[in-house]
Amino acid sequence: MSPLPAPMGILNIHKPASWTSHDVVARVRRIIGERQVGHTGTLDPLATGVLVVCVGRATRLVEYLTDLPKVYRGDIAFGLETDTWDADGEEVARCDASHLTLEAILPLLDAFRGEIEQVPPMFSALKRDGQPLYRLARAGQTVERAPRRVRVERLRVLAWQPPLLSLEIACSAGTYIRSLAHDLGQAAGTGAHLAALVRTAIGPFTLDGAVLLETLAEGDWRRWLIEPRRALAHLPAATISEAEAQELGYGRAIELDGGQEGDICCAYDAHGELVAILEPEARPGWWRPRKVFPAAG
């Protein structure tokens, strides 16, 4: 029996609570017997939901998937602050929030819609002088963090069960929902923390289509692989001939007549298989290979 070709695709994993994103990657490696596995955006251990994982040669596509927009369902608990700004942290302040009403909260949400600036949590993987901030935080250190500009496309109230506010948040990559919870608590004057979080979508990947790790381990895991074309649907694309694919394989530029614009283009063969990621040359209409994906032998 001939061996199966090397895998190349994307898995939409339903991350369980209490697992780190690294835990999920390690588990996927064991299930599929493949070392080349990488995720496209970290979820905190508290959070559950969509974790997009690239497999095999598709790990070279991670950089093109990390900036996809995200959708979350988050529960914010007013009246209690923690050092991590979520339920996994230690209590640092408590305030009576019994007077808080939904009518008082709704106007506050306007400040968190559209383009906003966020200060990242100290307990985060961002680095200062080569050290992750969470390591500094565990050592009792607090350092200044520069605000980051993010975009919140949608901020919708799902439920209000005092002191818990459930929100749907559609936002750009890099948005910290823990920061949003903390900042909303400050605006309300009661403090708050993120009590629960579910990521319901990353770009085209939704929670409805996510596979549990235990399900992935049953039977043929390859049936859950998603082809790169679907994952890269947000990028310009061109269909090329076999001869053009060979030219790209030799590192040579090809001319595209489809009027593609921008600084990147995905080249697919007649069967829809990804051949290369292209970047434009100085010559109008000509594109050179940035990354080439030879057919699996």
Choose, from 44, 75, 86, 183, the residue flagged as catalytic: 44
Per the annotation, the verdict on 44 as an active-site residue is yes
Q: Mark 240-261 as b/e (b = at least 16 C-beta within 10 Å).
A: beeebbebbeeeebbebeeebe
Q: Is the preceding peptide bond at 163 cis, omega within 30 degrees of 0? A: yes
Spatial contact of 62 and 40, defined as CB atoms under 8 Å apart: yes
Nearest one of 198, 213, 120, 136 to 166, comparing CA atoms:
198
Q: Rounded distance, CA 179 to CA 254, Å?
A: 46
Dihedral angle of Cα 240, 243, 244, 249, to the nearest 10 degrees: 120
Token output for 276 = 């290369």
By annotation, the residues acting in catalysis are 44
